[in-house]
Amino acid sequence: MGGRCGVSGIRLEDLGAALTALRLLVLDHPELPAPTASVSPIYPDRLRLDFHDDAADFEAWREALDADPATVVLRRWGVDGGALTVCTAYAGATVELIGYLALPVREELAGRAA
């Protein structure tokens, strides 16, 4: 089997903290809405959980992980898009929650788009 994929030198075991966190989340919180989950060799200790078009799903996870609401950041793009983001520690990994949202058009931006 020829070449190598991914980041040079990173092995599956190096993703252990993030994968363990995902496994424990399944066991500890099976009732939570299913996110898109990803782990990357770029950030081997990070578990990223994405939620699309439903702030309630993001909030349910934020509460379950006891992430401080004061640390949630809203980033806007365009006239009607944005994302909520927060990072918290869980089971030896950093868990990053990202909630993608369709946002109401802000008046000052709507005028510029016309």
The number of angstroms, rounded, from the C-alpha of 65 to the middle of its chain's C-alpha atoms is 12
Q: What is the pLDDT of residue 39?
A: 98
Q: Which residues pair with 94 in a beta bridge?
A: 46, 89
Q: What are phi and psi of 51, to 5 degrees?
A: -130, 135
Domain extent listing, the chain: 33-113
Q: What is the pLDDT of residue 80?
A: 84
Structure confidence by residue, pLDDT tens digits, 23-78? 999 999 999 999 999 999 999 999 999 999 789 999 999 999 999 999 999 998 88
Residue 86, CA atoms < 13 Å, CB-side half-sphere: 22
Q: Backbone dihedral region of 6: left (phi > 0), alpha (psi from -120 to 50 degrees) or beta? A: left
Question: pTM value?
Answer: 0.83
Q: What is the mean pLDDT of residues 91-103?
A: 95
Residue 106 tokens read as 């802000």
Identify which has the larger pLDDT, 48 or 112: 48
Residue 1, pLDDT > 60, answer no
pLDDT band at 106 (very low <50, low <70, confident <90, very high): low
Tokens 């944005």 sit at which residue? 82
